[in-house]
């Protein structure tokens, strides 16, 4: 099946710093990528949808200036958490959907962010 | 509004059968997905239903009734490794996935 790689898997940073998370589709072209956040014992929460070559569409309540999303190519999307604070500590997961009829999503491994 | 309901937690015995239900109310329907998520890991795809009926895939089966807004995931011959959260998600008319909160399945020996 299709493979989506997410990096880094774990990141610890100091409050006020910025963190970049990469999401790559390894064997297919992902026209659409999704970024989710998941707090402990809760379901996935969609943060934003990014389409290659255009601006990301953010869900209500998600600060676009804080969570910068770039989808510059069909195989790479990045999420940058700017000026991270402890409340941003969470599990961030990306998923990609290629030009497939079923709309099946392929998930990255996830990135656990801890802000001290 | 859009809503996906599934039980918060279920417990079953190794070797037994368990059915996890999911009911939904969404703006349009373009398919229902089941995903498995082990603690600390990303979800993995289990099944996709867009037509009414039962889809069987090994020990796992998924059923859909569009008229009732209802689906279930059936797990047979439970194994300890099946302990995980099971997420129900519906794709609405805008092709956006609406996620349920997940059902935590606990398997006991």
**A5 at interface of B, judged by CB pairs closer than 8 A:** no
Which tens digits make up the pLDDT trace of A7-63? 999 999 999 999 999 999 988 888 889 999 988 877 888 999 988 888 899 999 999
Q: Please state, in angstroms and rounded to a whole number, the distance separating the CA atoms of residues B51 and B72.
A: 13
Give the residue from chain A lying closest to B34, CA to CA.
A104
DSSP class per residue in chain B: --EEE--SEEEEETTS-EEEEEEEE-SS-S-EEEEEE-TTS--EEEEEE-SSEEEEETTEEEEEETTTTEEEEEE-S--GGG-EEEEEEEE-TTSPEEEP--EEEEEE-
Which tens digits make up the pLDDT trace of B62-84? 999 999 999 999 999 999 999 99
Beta-sheet pairing, B70-75 with B53-57: unpaired
Q: Comparing B28 with A42, which gets the higher pLDDT?
A: B28
| Residues in CB range of A1: below 8 A, 6 or more apart | A106
Spatial CA neighbour of B37 closest among B98, B91, B100, B108? B100
| Average of per-residue pLDDT across A107-111 | 90
| Average of per-residue pLDDT across A98-116 | 79
Give the residue from chain A lying closest to B103, CA to CA.
A43
Q: B43 contacts in A (CB within 8 Å)?
A: 44, 93, 107
């Amino acid at each position: 099946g299709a493979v989506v790689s997410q990096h880094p898997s774990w990141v610890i940073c100091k409050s006020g710093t910025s963190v970049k998370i990469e999401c790559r589709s390894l064997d297919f072209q992902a026209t659409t990528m999704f970024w989710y956040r998941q707090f402990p014992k809760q379901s996935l929460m969609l943060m934003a949808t990014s389409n290659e070559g255009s601006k990301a569409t953010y869900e209500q309540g998600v600060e676009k200036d804080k969570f910068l999303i770039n989808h510059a190519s069909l195989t790479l999307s990045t999420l940058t958490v700017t000026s991270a604070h402890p409340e941003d500590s969470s599990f961030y997961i990306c998923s990609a959907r290629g030009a497939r009829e079923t709309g099946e999503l392929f998930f990255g491994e996830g990135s656990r962010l801890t802000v001290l | 509004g859009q809503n996906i309901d599934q039980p918060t937690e279920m417990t079953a015995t190794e070797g037994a059968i368990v059915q996890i239900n999911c009911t939904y109310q969404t703006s349009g329907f373009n398919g229902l997905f089941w995903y498995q998520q082990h603690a600390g890991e990303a979800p993995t795809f289990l099944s996709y239903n867009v037509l009414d009926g039962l889809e069987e895939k090994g020990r796992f089966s998924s059923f859909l009734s569009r008229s009732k807004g209802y689906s279930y995931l059936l797990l047979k011959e439970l194994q300890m490794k099946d302990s995980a959260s099971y997420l129900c998600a519906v794709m609405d008319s805008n092709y956006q996935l609406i996620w349920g909160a997940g059902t935590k399945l606990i398997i006991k020996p």
